[in-house]
Structure 1
Amino acid sequence: MRLIHSVSELRAALAGRRETAFVPTMGNLHPGHIALIEQVRTSGRPVVASIFVNPLQFGAGEDFQRYPRTLPADCEQLEAAGCDIVFAPDVNEMYPEPQTFQVQPPLADELCGSFRPGHFSGVATVVLKLFNMVQPAVAVFGKKDYQQLFILKGLVRQFNLPIHIIEAETTRAA
């Protein structure tokens, strides 16, 4: 497994590779994340996972600084699950300048979004950036957060991205 921190290194690592499968995460992995990796591995494609704690999806009163960052343990789990590449950029790599363009998806301020202003806009923006960087053929998201899944499927449709979204069942720890 290869751990990558920069966009340029990621693009070099993916150059010439056949279609990839992608699992975006914020790290602090649990069995549900690993189940996503294992599910997408069955596609036979190289698997790329991202670990990025995205400041755009944290609102006022939600502590971005205290979100657990467990990269070494996460990498151990991902390697054991058969992940090929882990892309773990820092905030400056993902946002080298202020992110003035943001995706504002429908339903972003409804349901769960009404309690977390800006959250789904931050999610959609970072996922669109990650899709642009990784350029996967497939990406997998759990059904656990159905509103997020619905928004991201709409993002793929609206931007005509050649990405198949796999809806994975929720796996809970025993």
Structure 2
Amino acid sequence: MTRFTAGKLHVHTSPEQLAKVTRALRATGRKIAFVPTMGALHAGHRELMSRARRIPNTVLVASIFVNPLQFGAGEDFDRYPRPLDADLAACEEERVELVFTPAREALYPPDAQVTVHAGPLGEELEGAARPGHFSGVLTVVAKLFNIVRPDYALFGEKDYQQLVLIKKMVRDLDMEPHIIGVPTVRETDGLALSSRNAFLDADQRAAAVALSAALTAGQYAGREGEQAVLASARDVLARTPELKVDYVALRDPDLGPAPERGDARLLVAAKLGDTRLIDNVPVLLGRPDLAQHG
């Protein structure tokens, strides 16, 4: 195998070489914990890596690849930040041992035709606003899983619909990785960390806090039921006219219809200028006394 020194950062651009290394490591009894990213790493990515490091007997692998398949026409693929040197330095600080940084042609040969279809959920919420987005996400994740062959793969809950769809893909296609969702990391004012936050100017950054404030208001209204949750969130968003709200939705944890009582998920998407932002929080629906006594 390609020489591997535990505790040191190794960067691979070849899928074949990385696959050889991870197969050899698994043959020695090591487990692979995998954090796929599009780079522009921030504290949210670092939290994924930190959580992965805490899994016993694992080698931590990360990928950095801006996936063209998940960007639609007119989206921000060309301006998406690509600070590779800074990202590699962050990986080294987080004690990542293998980093995969493939070129586009390495993952998508010119004659590639087969993709993963995301199913009906892939056409709702974010999928309705970004047709084909989730098929692009699932296709690249499936390819990365086939190359890395991880035992564990970690994804942030900020991209909650993505997390749910990846779990469904792993289940439906009999894939091996155990998928671990990691809670959203936020700024001190509540804004969810995202690489796209770098696109916001000062006024937009101040306005963006309305998303997390709306979600918090919805959480507090949870005991009053679905309509109160949605009304509370929408009321907060309406006070920030700069936000062009796409949706505010309440669903069950698997993104089916919201239950009358119990665990649910509140999701929001909006644009500030040309930048699309998403966020979500868990919500407990129904009064505790009613839930206890049925």
TM-score band w.r.t. shorter chain: over 0.9
Equivalence for 2:43: 31
Q: Secondary structure at the match of 2:164?
A: helix
Percent identity between matched residues is 49
Q: Deviations over 1:76-98 (max 9, x none)?
A: 01110111100000101111234
CA RMSD in angstroms, aligned pairs only: 1.1
1:131 positional shift: 0.3
1:108 Cα shift? Answer: 1.0
Which is strand-richer, 1 or 2?
2
The one-letter amino acid paired with 2:55 is: S
Q: Does 1:62 align with 2:66?
A: no
Is residue 143 of structure 1 aligned with residue 151 of structure 2? no
Structure 1 residue 58, shift from structure 2 partner = 0.4
Per the alignment, in what secondary structure is the counterpart of residue 24 of structure 2?
coil
Q: How far apart, in 1, do the equivalents of 2:186 and 2:59 lie?
A: 25
Secondary structure of the 2:61 match is strand
The number of residues matched between the two structures is 174
Aligned to 1:53: 66
On the 8 A contact 2:167/2:179 being kept in 1, the answer is: yes
Structure 2 counterpart of 1:6: 14
Question: Is structure 2 residue 55 aligned with structure 1 residue 43?
Answer: yes
Q: Contact 1:48–1:83 (CA<8 Å) still a contact in 2?
A: yes
Instruction: Measure, in 1, the Cα distance between the counterparts of 2:89 and 2:111.
Output: 33
Tell whether the 8 Å contact from 2:22 to 2:149 is kept in structure 1 after alignment.
no
Among candidates 81, 104, 114, match of residue 101 of structure 1: 114
Give, in angstroms, the shift of residue 145 of structure 1: 1.2
Q: Which has the higher contact order (CA 8 A, sep 6+)?
A: 1
Aligned in 2, Cα 1:2/1:173: closer, same or farther, shift over 3 Å?
farther
Q: Secondary structure at the match of 1:145?
A: helix
Secondary structure of the 1:9 match is helix
Q: Secondary structure at the match of 1:136?
A: coil
2:173 is equivalent to residue 159 of structure 1: yes
Name the structure 1 match of 2:33: 21
Where structure 2 has 5 or more consecutive residues not aligned to the other structure, the ranges are 1-8, 189-294
Moved over 4 A (4+): none
The TM-score, its normalising length taken from structure 2, stands at: 0.58
Residue in 2 that maps onto 1:77? 90
Asked whether the 8 Å contact 1:31–1:173 carries over to 2, the reply is: no
| TM-score, normalised via structure 1 length | 0.96
Q: Which runs of 5+ in 1 are unaligned?
A: none
| 1:142–1:149 Cα contact (<8 Å) kept | yes
Pair member with larger Rg: 2
Deviation at 1:49, TM superposition (A): 0.2
Q: Please give the secondary structure, in 2, of the residue aligned with 1:144.
A: helix
